[in-house]
């Protein structure tokens, strides 16, 4: 009797109206089974988030579990820009104009801010269906098969702007995916308007961060081209003063020490190879923006009419200007996962058990990542061979593995990691050595198989640096096998 808590139907007590103890003015408390006896402290929703993401600053910042090569991207940008400002700018300011460091500075700041925003923003993750929702959807689907084998993929057809679109059922998230939504196997989340998973920024690119990503690559191509131009001018001016370009590279007239010019040569080489890949990528994404397509749709050829039917993109506004505006300047959608909200008492227990029961079922998204790898191979074949040599060897294998076993993600990930892991030492300097890769990848695949909700959340503030090298198993970024750097 003493423990009966009476509570009227309070419309303000959302989301669940079941009676919860509210003895103190603090928000609703959650607890896990280990700490029932201790005073309850509120838990935030990011702490029980089922996808493979990492959260920092108490849920304000989020990253994919595998940060990919984000540290490398950041490092290259910082180092090359740093070298530019230290060694090239003083000379150019003296001989040309002082606008150069200003322009360079503005571009550099733009690049850095948009890169961090792309990496740390929620790409448009759809929260998983609640158990009630999932049960309701199940009831609506005719369940003819038995549960001993994986049931066939469930699809639902809808008519969008007079175009038939198939919505697929996501077994992990237990819901029918909205149009243009895809499940990313690396992050284990359904992402709205899924473009691709970018290892260079260590996050998926989707509805909410596509504009940041686009601004990043456009400003990066300007920055790369700018630094390339400045470095060329610098060397040309020095060569004029001396006995030729080689002299300018080898010796150091004037007040700079010998070290100056080798760095300039390094910058020149990096910029030369980066400019082409980044410009190509920017051009490709400009085309996508103008036709309101995603990389995913472009690769799959969803709207290109390959099947012979009269298919057109139902999402396009049929006007390039409107397409661009709607993609880049449209209203900013909110984050749907409410990272910093507090957990109600009942839901924390429910979420935990529901997640442990969920096996990693196959979704079609691994194919998205792999096909992007194949497309990247085709694109990188046209690009300078410096850094693409390592990747094409990896990509056909990944494409192969994908074709053979598109079914299970846990089978796929060790294969991918093995095929790509061996390639890493040749492609990246400063990556972890290859013998550790298979171990890291197999550990990750075990985690994926068990699908324990928070394996990385035990200590969310220590990013796993070993993830950096091995995680490039998803080389899903077309044309970006080359360092994006100037």
Partner 1 sequence: MAETHSLQDLQQPIISSKVFIQRDYSSGTICRFQTKFPSELESRVDKQQFEETIQTLNNLYAEAEKLGGKSYLEGCLACLTAYTIFLCMETHYEKVLKKIAKYVKDQNEKIYAPRGLLITDPIERGLRVIEITIFEDRSIGSAR
Residue 302: strand, helix, or coil? coil
Quote the CA–CA distance of 207 and 204 in Å, as a whole number: 10
In contact, 169 and 153? CB cutoff 8 Å: yes
Among 25, 331, 430, 435, binds partner 1 (CB under 8 A): 331
Q: Which of residues 285-314 bind partner 1 (CB under 8 A)?
A: 314
Burial of 212: CB neighbours in 10 Å, binned 0-12, 13-18, 19+: buried
The answer to whether 127 contacts partner 1 (rule: CB under 8 A) is yes
The answer to whether 328 contacts partner 1 (rule: CB under 8 A) is yes
Task: Specify the residue, 32 or 338, whose C-beta has the smaller distance to partner 1.
Answer: 338
Give 279-282's long-range contacts (Cβ < 8 A, gap of 24+).
279/221, 279/224, 279/225, 280/379, 280/383, 280/479, 281/217, 281/221, 281/478, 281/479, 281/480, 281/484, 282/217, 282/218, 282/221
Among 52, 183, 193, 375, binds partner 1 (CB under 8 A): 193
Q: Which stretch binds partner 1 (CB under 8 A): 144-152, 210-218, 345-353, 413-421?
A: 210-218
Residue given tokens 């390339």 in the structure block: 228
Quote the CA–CA distance of 197 and 368 in Å, as a whole number: 9
User: Distance from first CA to last CA of the chain, Å, rounded?
Assistant: 72
**Active-site option among 198, 204, 271, 324:** 198
Residue 467: strand, helix, or coil? helix
Residue 198 among the catalytic residues = yes
**Shortest Cβ 28–partner 1 spacing (Å):** 13
The answer to whether 3 contacts partner 1 (rule: CB under 8 A) is no
Task: Specify the residue, 15 or 433, whose C-beta has the smaller distance to partner 1.
Answer: 15
Task: Specify the residue, 196 or 234, whose C-beta has the smaller distance to partner 1.
Answer: 196
* Token output for 256: 């700079």
Task: Specify the residue, 130 or 454, whose C-beta has the smaller distance to partner 1.
Answer: 130
- Judged by CB under 8 A, the number of residues near partner 1 is 55
The answer to whether 429 contacts partner 1 (rule: CB under 8 A) is no
Q: Which stretch binds partner 1 (CB under 8 A): 9-17, 302-310, 375-383, 468-476?
A: 9-17
The answer to whether 212 contacts partner 1 (rule: CB under 8 A) is yes
Omega prior to 15 cis, within 30 of 0: yes
The answer to whether 61 contacts partner 1 (rule: CB under 8 A) is no
Give how far Cα 211 sits from Cα of 243, 307, 476, Å.
48, 31, 19
Residues with catalytic roles: 198
Q: Which positions lie near partner 1, rule CB under 8 A?
A: 1, 4, 6-9, 11-12, 14-15, 17-19, 109-110, 113-114, 117, 126-127, 129-130, 132-133, 136, 158-161, 165, 167, 175, 178-180, 192-193, 211-212, 215, 314-315, 322, 325-326, 328-334, 336-338
């Amino acid at each position: 009797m003493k423990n009966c808590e009476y509570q009227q139907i309070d419309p303000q007590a959302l989301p669940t109206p079941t009676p919860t103890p509210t003895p103190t003015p603090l928000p609703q408390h959650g607890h896990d089974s280990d700490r029932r006896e201790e005073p309850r402290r509120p838990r935030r929703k990011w702490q029980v988030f089922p996808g493979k993401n990492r959260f920092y600053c108490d849920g304000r910042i989020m990253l994919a579990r595998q940060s990919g090569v984000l540290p490398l991207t950041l490092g290259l940008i910082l180092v090359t820009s740093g070298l530019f400002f230290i060694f090239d700018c003083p000379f150019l300011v003296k001989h040309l104009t002082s606008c150069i460091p200003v322009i360079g500075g503005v571009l550099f700041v733009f690049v850095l801010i948009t890169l961090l925003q792309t990496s740390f923003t929620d790409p448009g993750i759809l929260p998983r269906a609640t158990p009630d929702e999932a049960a309701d959807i199940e009831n609506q689907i005719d369940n003819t098969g038995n549960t001993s084998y994986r049931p066939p993929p469930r699809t639902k057809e809808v008519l969008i702007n007079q175009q038939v679109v198939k919505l697929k059922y996501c077994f992990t998230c237990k819901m029918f995916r909205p149009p243009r939504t895809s499940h990313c196997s690396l992050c284990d989340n359904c992402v709205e308007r899924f473009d691709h998973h970018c290892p260079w920024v260590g996050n998926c690119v989707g509805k909410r961060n596509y504009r940041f990503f686009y601004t990043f690559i456009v400003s990066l191509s300007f920055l790369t081209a700018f630094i390339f131009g400045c470095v060329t001018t610098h060397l040309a001016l020095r060569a004029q003063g001396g006995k030729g370009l080689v002299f300018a590279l080898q010796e150091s007239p004037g007040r700079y020490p010998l070290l100056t010019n080798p760095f300039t040569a390094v910058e020149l080489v990096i910029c030369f190879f980066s400019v082409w890949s980044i410009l190509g990528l920017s051009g490709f994404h400009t085309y996508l923006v103008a036709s309101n397509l995603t990389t995913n749709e472009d690769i799959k050829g969803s709207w290109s009419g390959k099947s012979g039917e009269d298919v057109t993109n139902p999402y396009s506004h049929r006007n390039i200007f409107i397409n661009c505006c709607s993609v880049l300047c449209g209203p900013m959608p909110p984050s749907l996962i409410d990272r910093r909200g507090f957990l109600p008492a009942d839901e924390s227990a429910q979420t935990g058990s529901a997640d442990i029961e969920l096996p990693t079922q196959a979704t079609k998204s691994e194919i998205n990542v792999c096909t992007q790898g194949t497309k990247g191979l085709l694109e990188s074949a046209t690009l300078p061979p410096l850094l693409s040599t390592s990747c094409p060897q990896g990509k056909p294998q990944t494409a192969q593995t994908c074709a053979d076993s598109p079914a299970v993600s846990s089978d796929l990930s060790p294969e991918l990691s093995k095929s790509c892991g061996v390639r890493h030492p040749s492609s990246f300097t400063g990556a972890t050595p290859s013998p550790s890769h298979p171990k890291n990848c197999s550990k990750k695949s075990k985690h994926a198989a068990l699908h324990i909700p928070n394996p990385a959340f035990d200590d969310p503030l220590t990013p796993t640096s070993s993830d950096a090298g091995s995680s490039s198993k998803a080389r899903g970024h077309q044309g970006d096998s080359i360092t994006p750097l100037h």
